[in-house]
């Protein structure tokens, strides 16, 4: 059976100890084992990273960019290989896996511009004979802890900016689908990255805590559920680290009476059920404004849901595949039952779905629930599955209030032909990322990704310029070059530039 190991100092590394099982979501069978590291394994990774970082940081930014550019080429050349490996462990269809890799590759492409991105500021003549300038320097050894749902995209969001800024990076991926992150490390070394600049450690909570406690790790980026994000943020910040922790979501799609319903339904279906709903930027709540809009939207959704195909990851006609694990499938089914018991109307029930030949796979068909209200726990919590809830709003004000008052504030979308309504909504809604007739408003690589409220802990977003800021610290230099002769008077007060 295949074994997924750590990747330390430029090579696969095995240190014994415990192992975990890597399942194939389509069949429910164990397809590999993964080593589970401990503090000793992390220490080996830190020693390797610390030894490599100074030399890597001394290389000029243009040459670091060349390594990243070569890495970009390898990712493009190996896209199919990586997508198939990703799909086999996660369960998402191969076309969706390609999208996973591509969105990460976009950030790699952005990172290739690091010579420009690292430029500081300069002020000539700030005082008599005094110039002031700033520079951005790497933090040293930094780390990232990534979730199962995007095993290529999110590691690339973190490691590309961190490494190209001159840091050494330690990646702790999800133990559910650990193979692609190791493959990314191999390709980066093939692209010319020195050994030790990127290390991958496998493990569970034990190694997460070791990362958060280690004094030589200066910053940690995290993506996962909100409860764990809050824990990671608190423990890491208490240890004096710079922290960037992205949590869960309950994204809403507001449907105004003037919306193009055919286009809106097509958008909602992909956003709600794509990747079996296992996206922090999925759209699991739709908010039609007015009863007439709600009834018409529901009818169209039901008709289109019937056309969706659930299949194995390699089926080119499948819209989505299984969820990641048996435990997660049970959790989703529990929330569907909870919603019914709370008073929701079960319009389409995705439980009990079976795929011939794959009866032990973790499959769920699309579920649609209507007449959900904001007081229901099934609405308040993140379900993270192929479940769409309809929450009816009487008017625009109610529609704005729902995502604004929700504990999560990751993404939101509004569907309308009215520019004034869209502009007001975007201005007022208390959510970090807004789509206007765009169902999944993930920003492009040269902006940045981040939610509000319990969807994000920390002051800086991921990738874009915030990513560069997160992985660097500013040093400001005030300089004067004496020309000889006159000695300035002594001063015992703080200097000014008068």
First to last CA, the chain: 73
Is 218:137 a contact under the CB 8 Å cutoff? no
Is 264:228 a contact under the CB 8 Å cutoff? no
Any catalytic annotation for residue 245? no
The CA dihedral of 74, 79, 82, 84, to the nearest 10 degrees, is: -160
Nearest to 415 by CA among 291, 255, 268: 255
Sheet with 472-480, strands from edge to edge, namely 122-127, 130-138, 472-480
Which two tokens mark 69?
């550019």
Instruction: Identify the active-site residue in 112, 189, 245, 280.
Output: 280
Residues 6+ apart with CB under 8 A from 419: none
| Per-state percent for the chain, helix, strand, coil, to nearest 5 | 40, 20, 40
Compute the distance between CA of residue 241 and CA of residue 213 in angstroms, rounded to an integer: 9
Residue 371: strand, helix, or coil: coil
Compute the distance between CA of residue 197 and CA of residue 45 in angstroms, rounded to an integer: 10
Nearest to 313 by CA among 60, 88, 3: 88
The widest CA-to-CA distance across the chain, in whole angstroms, is 92
Residues 6+ apart with CB under 8 A from 258: 416, 417, 418
Is 215:236 a contact under the CB 8 Å cutoff? no
Nearest to 449 by CA among 227, 164, 166, 158: 158
Compute the distance between CA of residue 83 and CA of residue 69 in angstroms, rounded to an integer: 20
Catalytic residue numbers read 280
């Amino acid at each position: 059976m295949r074994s997924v190991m750590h990747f330390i100092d430029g090579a696969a590394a095995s240190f014994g100890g415990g192992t975990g099982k890597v399942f194939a979501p389509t069949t429910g069978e164990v397809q590999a084992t993964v080593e589970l590291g401990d503090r000793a394994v992390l220490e080996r990774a830190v020693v390797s990273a610390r030894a490599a970082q100074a030399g890597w940081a001394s290389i000029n930014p243009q040459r670091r960019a060349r390594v990243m550019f070569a890495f970009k080429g390898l990712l493009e050349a190996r896209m199919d290989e990586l997508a198939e490996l990703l799909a086999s462990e996660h369960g998402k269809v191969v076309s969706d896996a390609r999208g996973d890799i591509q969105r990460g590759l976009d950030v790699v492409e952005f990172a290739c511009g690091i010579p420009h991105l690292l430029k500081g500021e300069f002020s000539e003549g700030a005082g008599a004979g005094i110039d002031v300038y700033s520079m951005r320097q790497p933090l040293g050894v930094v780390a990232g802890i990534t979730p199962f749902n995007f095993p290529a995209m999110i590691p690339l969001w973190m490691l590309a900016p961190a490494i190209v800024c001159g840091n050494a990076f330690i990646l702790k991926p999800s133990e559910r689908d650990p193979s692609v992150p190791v493959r990314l490390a191999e390709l980066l070394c093939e692209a010319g990255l020195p050994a030790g600049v990127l290390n991958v450690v496998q493990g569970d909570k034990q190694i997460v805590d070791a990362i958060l406690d280690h004094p030589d790790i200066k910053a940690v980026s995290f993506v996962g559920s909100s409860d764990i994000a809050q824990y990671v943020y608190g423990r890491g910040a208490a240890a004096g680290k710079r922290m960037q922790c992205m949590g869960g979501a309950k994204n809403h799609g507001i449907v105004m009476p003037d919306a193009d319903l055919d286009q809106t339904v097509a958008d909602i279906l992909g956003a709600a059920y794509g990747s079996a709903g296992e996206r922090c930027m999925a759209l699991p709540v739709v908010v039609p404004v007015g009863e007439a809009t709600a009834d018409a939207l529901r009818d169209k959704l039901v008709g289109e849901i019937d056309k969706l195909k659930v299949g194995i990851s390699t089926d080119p006609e499948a819209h989505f595949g299984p969820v990641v694990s048996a435990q997660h499938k049970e959790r989703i089914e529990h929330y569907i039952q909870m919603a019914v018991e709370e008073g929701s109307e079960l319009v389409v029930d995705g439980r009990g779905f079976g795929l011939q030949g794959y009866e032990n796979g973790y499959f769920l068909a699309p579920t649609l629930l209507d007449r959900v209200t904001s007081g229901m726990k099934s609405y308040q919590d993140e379900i993270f599955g192929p479940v769409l809830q309809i929450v009816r709003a009487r008017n625009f004000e109610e529609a704005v209030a729902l995502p604004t008052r929700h504990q999560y504030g990751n993404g939101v979308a509004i569907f309308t032909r009215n520019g004034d309504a869209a502009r007001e909504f975007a201005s007022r809604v208390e959510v970090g990322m807004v789509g206007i007739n765009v169902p999944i408003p993930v920003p492009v690589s040269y902006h940045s990704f981040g939610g509000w409220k319990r969807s994000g802990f920390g002051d800086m977003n991921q990738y874009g310029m915030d990513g560069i800021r997160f992985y660097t610290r500013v040093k400001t230099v005030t300089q004067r070059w004496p020309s000889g002769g006159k000695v300035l008077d002594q001063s015992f007060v703080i200097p000014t530039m008068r």
